[in-house]
C-alpha cells in the first residue's frame, strides 16, 4: 500500500526501514522539518554532538565497531562543510556512512542564500557518491540507493542533500523492497583461474607472508574467521596494516605484528625477504611500501581486493583477484582442502627460523625509567589491565600515541580497533569513541590520545556527559606534537618549529568543568592504581598521563626508504640479526 507523506517524514521512515537505530547530528535551519519528525517518534535515537565533524567521526566509530553504516544528519552550509573532514576520512578508510544534509529550498539554490553551500559540489571528491534530491517523489528511493551504495563493494561514505522545500512537500513513500534496483552491483566472487593460481603458489612458496588489511574487516566477521583458517591450514606468517588489526588475533602463533613505517622489524623484513606475498584486502599504501623500486624485490605477489582500481595502482602484482575477501578466501580454502595439498614444509621451517632471528631483535624494546612515565610503559600497563576485559574497544587519535597503541596493544577480534589510517585525522578518536560507546553501551571504550589531537575535538565532552557515555580518554601528554617533533629532530635539523604547546589546559579541571572525572598521573609507581581508578569509574574520564616529552617512536622506516632500511631505537640489539639473517641494516 502506498502512503503519502512529507519529505521530512519520508527521511525518518526510510531510515527506520533501513534498520537505523541511531543518528548522529546537529540541527539547523535547513533540516528543521526532519528534526521535527525525529521529535515525534521514538524508534531512532538522535545523539546531539557539539560539532558536525564530531558527528561524522562518531558515526565512523559506530560503523567500524558494528559493521553497519553510520548515519549523520546536519544542516546546510557550515553544517555540511564541517562534515567534509569526516567524509574524507571515511572515504580513505572505506567506512560506510550515510550523511544527510539540509539545503536551501530548490528555488533559492544558486542565489547565495543564507547558509547555502554547493554541498554536492564540495563533497563530490570526498564521497563514494552523492545526490541532490530536487523532487520529494524521488527522496525515499534515493535514500535507499544511498544505503545500497554505502554498503556495497568497497564501502564508503555517501551524502544526500535535501532542500528544505523537498522536506515540506508531500509525495508517495517508496519502501526499500519497491525501490529501483541499482545497476551498481560490484562483483563478489573472484576469478576461479586466478584463485587456482594462488593456491598453486601457496603450495610451492618457500618464504611466504600474508599481508592483510582493512578489507578483511570490511568483509565481515566471517572473512576474519576464514583468514584464521587459511593461516592455520598453511602455517604461513601473517602481518597486517594498521587498518587490519584484529582480523587475525595478536595472540595467534603466526602473528608477526603490524608492518609499515612504524611496524615491527620481523614483519617488515619478512615482507622484504619473502618469495610469495599474499595481499588480502590491503592497498600498498605508501606508509607500507616505502620506496617502491625496492619494495619486496624478490617476491611474486597476489592481491585480493574488491576494488579494481586498487590492483596495480602502485605495485604491480602477478595474480590479481578482484572480489570480496570473504568469498575469495572461501574458494581458496575449498580448493586447498579438496586437493589434499601441502605446503613446502622444509622451506617453511627455514623461513620461520629466520623470522625467529629477527624477532630476537626485540624491536619494541625501550629504556624504562623510574621517574617519568614512558609512553610505551603506559600502554603496556593499559594493555595488562584491560586485555582480559570481555568487550574492550580501542580508539586512537593520530600521531606517536597511535603507533605505540598499534605496537603495544593486542587485538584478538575484528571491529575492536578504531583509528584514522588513510587520512590521519587528528581529532578522530574522541568522537569515534563516543560512537562506539553509543553502539555498545556496556563495553569498555578507551580512546588512546595525544593531548594535541584530543584538543581538536574536545567539545565532544559535552556529548559524552549528556548521554552518560563512560568513554575513557587516555591521554599520553607530552606537551608536544610528538610525531611532528620526531620528524623535525630526524629530518629538519632539530628545528622544532611550532611543535609544542605553551598553554595546555589543566585536564583534571577541564573534566570537572564538563561534569566528568579527571585523573592526573605522572609517577610510574602510581600508574596501575590510576588506570584502575579510571576503569572503575562509571562515567567519562579524562586521564592525563604525563609522559616523557622527547620519546621517539621506533622502529621507523624513513619515508622514501625500503623496508630493510629500518631504523631502530637506541636500545635494540641488532648484531645477531645482521649476522644470521644477512639483512642489510642501515
Partner 1 sequence: MTELKIKKGSSKHSAYDLRDPNAAAEERHTLAVLVENEPGVLARVIGLFSGRGYNIESLTVAEVDHTGHRSRITIVTTGTPAVIDQIKAQLGRIVVVYDVHDLTVEGHAVERELALFKVAGQGNDRIEALRLAEIFRANVVDSTLESFIFEMTGTPGKIDAFAELMRPLGLVEVARTGVAALSRGAE
Residues annotated as catalytic are 52, 114-115, 164, 483
- Give the span between the Cα atoms of 170 and 288, in whole angstroms: 52
The binder of partner 1 chosen from 569, 577, 581, 583 (CB under 8 A): 569
In the window 316-375, what residues touch partner 1 (CB under 8 A)?
316
Give yes or no for residue 121 binding partner 1 (CB under 8 A): yes
Does residue 98 bind partner 1 (CB under 8 A)?
no
- Please give the Cα distance from 11 to 142 (Å, whole number): 10
Our CB check for partner 1 shows the closer of 171 and 568 to be 568
Distance separating alpha carbons of residues 583 and 39, to the nearest angstrom: 64
Among 4, 170, 192, 559, binds partner 1 (CB under 8 A): 559
> Is residue 312 a contact residue for partner 1 (CB under 8 A)?
yes
Number of other residues whose CB lies within 10 A of the CB of residue 504: 14
- Of 120, 264, 439, 458, the one binding partner 1 (CB under 8 A) is 120
Question: Which cell numbers hold the place of 416?
Answer: 575492536
Q: Which stretch binds partner 1 (CB under 8 A): 14-22, 222-230, 408-416, 561-569?
A: 561-569
Indicate the residue among 127 and 447 with the shorter CB distance to partner 1: 127
Q: Which stretch binds partner 1 (CB under 8 A): 75-83, 216-224, 283-291, 536-544?
A: 283-291
How is 296-355 classified by DSSP, letter by letter? STT-EEEEEES-GGGTTSSS--SEEEES-HHHHHHHHHHHHHHTT----HHHHHHHHHHH
Q: Which range binds partner 1 by CB under 8 A, 236-244, 305-313, 386-394, 534-542?
A: 305-313
- Nearest distance from residue 83's CB to partner 1, in Å? 18
Residue 280: phi and psi, rounded to 5, are -115, 105
Near partner 1 by CB under 8 A: residue from 46, 189, 196, 291? 291
Least distance from partner 1 to the Cβ atom of residue 489, Å: 8
Query: From the centroid of its chain, how far is CA 102?
Result: 27
How many residues bind partner 1 (CB under 8 A)? The answer is: 42
Task: Give min distance, CB of 165 to partner 1, in A.
Answer: 17
Asked if 576 touches partner 1 (CB under 8 A), the answer is: no
What is the C-alpha to C-alpha distance for residues 193 and 211, in angstroms, rounded to an integer?
21
Q: Count the neighbouring beta carbons within 10 Å of the beta carbon of residue 171.
A: 18
Binding to partner 1 by residue 311, rule CB under 8 A? yes
129 part of the interface to partner 1, by CB under 8 A: yes
The b/e string for 303-314 (b: 16+ C-beta within 10 A; e otherwise) is bbbbbeebbeee
CA distances from 315 to 190, 296, 374, 557 (A): 20, 10, 38, 18
- Considering beta carbons, is residue 55 or 304 the nearer one to partner 1? 304
Least gap, CB of 184 to partner 1 (angstroms) = 5
Residues 417, 419, 423: CA angle, nearest 5 degrees = 155
Binding of partner 1 by 563 (CB under 8 A): no
Cβ partners under 8 Å of residue 146, min gap 6? 98, 129, 131, 158, 159, 160
Among 177, 493, 498, 575, binds partner 1 (CB under 8 A): 493
- Positions touching partner 1 (CB under 8 A) are 120-121, 124-125, 128-129, 132, 149, 153-154, 183-184, 286-287, 289, 291-293, 307-309, 311-314, 316, 490-494, 558-561, 567-570, 572, 574, 586
Amino acid at each position: 500500500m502506498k502512503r503519502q507523506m512529507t519529505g521530512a517524514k519520508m527521511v525518518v521512515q526510510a531510515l527506520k526501514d533501513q534498520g537505523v537505530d541511531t543518528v548522529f547530528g546537529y540541527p539547523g535551519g535547513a533540516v528543521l522539518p526532519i528534526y521535527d519528525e525525529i521529535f515525534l517518534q521514538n524508534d531512532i535515537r538522535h545523539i546531539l554532538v557539539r560539532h558536525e565533524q564530531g558527528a561524522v567521526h562518531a558515526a565512523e566509530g559506530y560503523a567500524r565497531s558494528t559493521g553497519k553504516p553510520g548515519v549523520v544528519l546536519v544542516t546546510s552550509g557550515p553544517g555540511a562543510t564541517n562534515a567534509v573532514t569526516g567524509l574524507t576520512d571515511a572515504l580513505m578508510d572505506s567506512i560506510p556512512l550515510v550523511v544527510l544534509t539540509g539545503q536551501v529550498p530548490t528555488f533559492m539554490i544558486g542565489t547565495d542564500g543564507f547558509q547555502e553551500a554547493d554541498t554536492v559540489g564540495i563533497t563530490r571528491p570526498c564521497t563514494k557518491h552523492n545526490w541532490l534530491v530536487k523532487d520529494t517523489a524521488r527522496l525515499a528511493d534515493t535514500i535507499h540507493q544511498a544505503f545500497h551504495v554505502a554498503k556495497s563493494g568497497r564501502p564508503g561514505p555517501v551524502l544526500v542533500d535535501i532542500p528544505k522545500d523537498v522536506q515540506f512537500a508531500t509525495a508517495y513513500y517508496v519502501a526499500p523492497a519497491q525501490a529501483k534496483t541499482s545497476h551498481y552491483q560490484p562483483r563478489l566472487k573472484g576469478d576461479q583461474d586466478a584463485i587456482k593460481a594462488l593456491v598453486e603458489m601457496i603450495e610451492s612458496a618457500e618464504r611466504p607472508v600474508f599481508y592483510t588489511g582493512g578489507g578483511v574487516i570490511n568483509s565481515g566477521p566471517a572473512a576474519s574467521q576464514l583468514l584464521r583458517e587459511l593461516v592455520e591450514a598453511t602455517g604461513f606468517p601473517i602481518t597486517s596494516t594498521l587498518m587490519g588489526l584484529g582480523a587475525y588475533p595478536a595472540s595467534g602463533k603466526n602473528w608477526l605484528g603490524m608492518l609499515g613505517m612504524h611496524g615491527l622489524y620481523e614483519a617488515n623484513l619478512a615482507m622484504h625477504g619473502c618469495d610469495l606475498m599474499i595481499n588480502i584486502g590491503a592497498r600498498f599504501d605508501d606508509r607500507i611500501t616505502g620506496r617502491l623500486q625496492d619494495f619486496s624485490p624478490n617476491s611474486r605477489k597476489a592481491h585480493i581486493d574488491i576494488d579494481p582500481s586498487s590492483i596495480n595502482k602502485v605495485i604491480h602484482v602477478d595474480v590479481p583477484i578482484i572480489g570480496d575477501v570473504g568469498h575469495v578466501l572461501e574458494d581458496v580454502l575449498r580448493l586447498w582442502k579438496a586437493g589434499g595439498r601441502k605446503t613446502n614444509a622444509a622451506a617453511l621451517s627455514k623461513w620461520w627460523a629466520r623470522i625467529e632471528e629477527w624477532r630476537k631483535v626485540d624491536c619494541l624494546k625501550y629504556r624504562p625509567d623510574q621517574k617519568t612515565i614512558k609512553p610505551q610503559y603506559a600502554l603496556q600497563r593499559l594493555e595488562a589491565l584491560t586485555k582480559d576485559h570481555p568487550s574492550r574497544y580501542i580508539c586512537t587519535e593520530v600521531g606517536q600515541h597511535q603507533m605505540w597503541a598499534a605496537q603495544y596493544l593486542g587485538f584478538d577480534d575484528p571491529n575492536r580497533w578504531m583509528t584514522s589510517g588513510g587520512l590521519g585525522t587528528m581529532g578522530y578518536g574522541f568522537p569515534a569513541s563516543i560512537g562506539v560507546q553509543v553502539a555498545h553501551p556496556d563495553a569498555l571504550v578507551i580512546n588512546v590520545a595525544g593531548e594535541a589531537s584530543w584538543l581538536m575535538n574536545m567539545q565532544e565532552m559535552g556529548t559524552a556527559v549528556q548521554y552518560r557515555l563512560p568513554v575513557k580518554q587516555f591521554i599520553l601528554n607530552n606537551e608536544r606534537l610528538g610525531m611532528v617533533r620526531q620528524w623535525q629532530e630526524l629530518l629538519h635539523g632539530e628545528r622544532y618549529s611550532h611543535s609544542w604547546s605553551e598553554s595546555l589546559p589543566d585536564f583534571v579541571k577541564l573534566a570537572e568543568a564538563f561534569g566528568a572525572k579527571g585523573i592526573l598521573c605522572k609517577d610510574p609507581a602510581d600508574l596501575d592504581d590510576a588506570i584502575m581508578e579510571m576503569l572503575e569509574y562509571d562515567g567519562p574520564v579524562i586521564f592525563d598521563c604525563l609522559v616523557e616529552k622527547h620519546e621517539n617512536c621506533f622502529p621507523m622506516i624513513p619515508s622514501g626508504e625500503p623496508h630493510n632500511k629500518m631504523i631502530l631505537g637506541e636500545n635494540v640489539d641488532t648484531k645477531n640479526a645482521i649476522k644470521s639473517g644477512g639483512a642489510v641494516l642501515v
